[in-house]
A and B are shown apart, each in its own frame.
Chain A
Amino acid sequence: MRHLLSIADLTKSDALSILNTAETLSRASDGPMKKLPTLRGRTIVNLFAEDSTRTRISFEAAAKRLSADVINFSAKGSSLSKGESLKDTAQTLQAMGADAVIIRHSASGAAHTLAQGQWMSGSVINAGDGTHEHPSQALLDAFTIRKHCAHGNDDLTGLRIAIVGDILHSRVARSNVLLLSMLGAHVVLVAPPTLLPIGVESWPVTISYDLDSVIESVDAVIMLRIQIERMTEMYLPSAGEYARFYGLNLDRLARMKTQSIVMHPGPMNRGLEISSESADSARSVIVEQVKNGVSVRMAILYLLLAGNQDLEVSL
């Protein structure tokens, strides 16, 4: 594993080794979290061509805890926003000696293009590309679900997980569908028909248009952020109607199974896809997802960067 571009590139054992490594790291950090020297002298670039404070600081915290040098390269004021090509940016980062580039980009496939362009030798980590994938988010979601729902199992066999909302435009959903189903979970996508992609019937999921018929049977529900633009683009009649049919409100929350959890990748639209009461309820693990995100990203950086990738992996 040199890059992390897509969940589709991972085997189940790759995914489990990331989760297990994250688990070990998170237990170690239950005490006072100290820096580990593992990536001392390595340079990691956060190339964020699209705003995302939480993903950027999560990767930054992960890298810094492993003692890597972190360079933040954000869209505003960077050469990417001045129309510099990805190729020129990559060559610049190569010249600066970047060992890894964590890229967030509004174009689907941007991380692939960066990794395959042979413009730089370092690892490429996809931190969200357009409406394609967000692998580290899926891994932290799987980590969180496993911790709460898997009863000590290694994988997610037998669990029912609903992903609710704008599946069509969600990179979180795409990565989660691949990862959660690979780990043995049964994934239910819940959305109005306009927000489901063509061909979704070929995905390893069940489809539902009705949140009420699904909510009682799931072990975890992942609520996706709904963009206000979807109303003006005529995917939806109104925000109010969306909240009524697909929002997680107190009534639906009350009908969930006793041990089930509520998740959200953030940032939330409180009162739209999720009510404030649901977001702050005892079932909600939304804040814990953020914490787990750091452990999972440390695991990703450790596994991609610490060893010699030219040697056979012996995990």
Chain B
Amino acid sequence: MSIALPAPDISRAITRIAHEICERNSGSQLVTLLGIPTRGAHLAQRLAAEIESITGNSVECGTLDITMHRDDLRLRAPRALAPTSIPPLGVEDRHVVLVDDVLFSGRTIRAALDALGEVGRPKTVQLAVLVDRGHRQLPIKADYVGKNLPTSPQQIIKVHLSELDGVDEVLLEEVAG
């Protein structure tokens, strides 16, 4: 097990992504951040705070649970649902930035696009992730990446955030055997 991303790097990545989002969307007035629970939701809140400190304006931020749209439900034990909360201005004609911790197969984002389609029709949908570990199974690409982390499919990435885990770090674990 090794630390792939220590706390200062995580902090810097978030700051950088916040800047990139503002730059690309000409500020944050039309931006809606939607975090994918659980850790994506916390990252979205951090991004929102960062964007606010950059622009001085509040930014729309909510959560989007994608559980009911997953294509692997039958492969796992029953999962608890997480809340979806769409901010007051909705998603119509907004630049929606989906926020997640790790981009891997791309299936979660596929489900998120479906879930988002049930809510409304944004002007654009963008994707921000803390870590892109490769091994995509679908034609999906992130717009904002904290760190590209080359991995083997057998390795496990663990993201810890202080809100949940008491510490900020990204760990890379080798599977035993």
User: Interface of A with B (CB < 8 Å)?
Assistant: 1, 17, 20-21, 24-25, 27-28, 31, 34-38, 66, 302-304, 306-309, 311-315
| A21-B69 CB under 8 A given contacts A34-B118, A37-B114, A311-B76 | no
* A309: chain B residues within 8 A (beta carbon): 77-78
* A25: chain B residues within 8 A (beta carbon): 81
Asked whether any CB of chain A lies closer than 8 Å to the CB of B82, the reply is: yes
Which listed residue, A31, A38, A311, touches B77 by the CB 8 Å rule? Answer: A311
**In the complex, A145 Cα to B82 Cα: how many Å?**
22
Which listed residue, B73, B80, B83, B118, touches A315 by the CB 8 Å rule? Answer: B80
The answer to whether B77 and A313 touch across the interface, beta carbons within 8 angstroms, is yes
Q: Measured between C-beta atoms, what is the minimum distance from B35 to chain A in Å? A: 16
* B69: chain A residues within 8 A (beta carbon): 36-38
The answer to whether A37 and B77 touch across the interface, beta carbons within 8 angstroms, is no
The answer to whether B83 and A306 touch across the interface, beta carbons within 8 angstroms, is no
Asked whether any CB of chain A lies closer than 8 Å to the CB of B84, the reply is: yes
Q: Measured between C-beta atoms, what is the minimum distance from B84 to chain A in Å? A: 5
Interface residues on B, range: 20 to 34
The answer to whether A307 and B83 touch across the interface, beta carbons within 8 angstroms, is no
The answer to whether A308 and B118 touch across the interface, beta carbons within 8 angstroms, is no
Asked whether any CB of chain A lies closer than 8 Å to the CB of B68, the reply is: yes
The answer to whether B74 and A308 touch across the interface, beta carbons within 8 angstroms, is yes
Q: Which 6 A-B pairs have the closest CB atoms?
A: A307-B78, A311-B77, A24-B81, A36-B68, A34-B118, A38-B68
**In the complex, A27 Cα to B80 Cα: how many Å?**
15
* A303: chain B residues within 8 A (beta carbon): 78
User: Interface of B with A (CB < 8 Å)?
Assistant: 65, 68-69, 73-86, 114, 118-119
**In the complex, A303 Cα to B77 Cα: how many Å?**
9
Contact residues of B: prevailing secondary structure: loop
| A28-B84 CB under 8 A given contacts A36-B69, A302-B68, A307-B73 | yes
Which listed residue, A21, A308, A313, touches B81 by the CB 8 Å rule? Answer: A21
The answer to whether B77 and A27 touch across the interface, beta carbons within 8 angstroms, is no
The answer to whether B83 and A27 touch across the interface, beta carbons within 8 angstroms, is yes
| A308-B77 CB under 8 A given contacts A37-B68, A37-B114 | yes
Most buried by B among A25, A37, A313: A37
6 contacts between A and B (CB under 8 A): A20-B80, A31-B86, A34-B118, A36-B69, A306-B79, A315-B80
**In the complex, A28 Cα to B37 Cα: how many Å?**
15
**In the complex, A169 Cα to B35 Cα: how many Å?**
49
* A306: chain B residues within 8 A (beta carbon): 68, 73-74, 78-79
Most buried by B among A17, A25, A302: A302
Q: How many contacts A-B (CB < 8 Å)?
A: 65
* B65: chain A residues within 8 A (beta carbon): 24, 28
Most buried by A among B68, B78, B82, B83: B78
* B78: chain A residues within 8 A (beta carbon): 1, 302-304, 306-309, 313-315
**In the complex, A37 Cα to B68 Cα: how many Å?**
7
Residue of B nearest to A310 (CB): B77
Q: Measured between C-beta atoms, what is the minimum distance from A21 to chain B in Å? A: 5
The answer to whether B77 and A24 touch across the interface, beta carbons within 8 angstroms, is no
**In the complex, A35 Cα to B117 Cα: how many Å?**
11
Q: Measured between C-beta atoms, what is the minimum distance from A187 to chain B in Å? A: 28
The answer to whether A307 and B74 touch across the interface, beta carbons within 8 angstroms, is yes
Residue of B nearest to A299 (CB): B81
**In the complex, A309 Cα to B74 Cα: how many Å?**
9
**In the complex, A144 Cα to B157 Cα: how many Å?**
41
Residue of A nearest to B79 (CB): A307
* A315: chain B residues within 8 A (beta carbon): 78-80
* B75: chain A residues within 8 A (beta carbon): 308
| A17-B77 CB under 8 A given contacts A34-B118, A36-B68, A37-B68 | no
The answer to whether A24 and B82 touch across the interface, beta carbons within 8 angstroms, is yes
* B81: chain A residues within 8 A (beta carbon): 20-21, 24-25, 302
* B83: chain A residues within 8 A (beta carbon): 24, 27
Q: Measured between C-beta atoms, what is the minimum distance from B5 to chain A in Å? A: 26
**In the complex, A129 Cα to B39 Cα: how many Å?**
43
Most buried by A among B68, B73, B74: B68
Q: Measured between C-beta atoms, what is the minimum distance from A310 to chain B in Å? A: 9
A-B contacts besides A24-B83, A302-B81, A306-B78, 13 pairs, CB < 8 Å = A1-B78, A17-B80, A24-B81, A24-B84, A27-B83, A31-B86, A37-B114, A38-B73, A307-B74, A307-B77, A307-B78, A307-B79, A309-B78
Residue of B nearest to A313 (CB): B77
Residue of A nearest to B85 (CB): A27
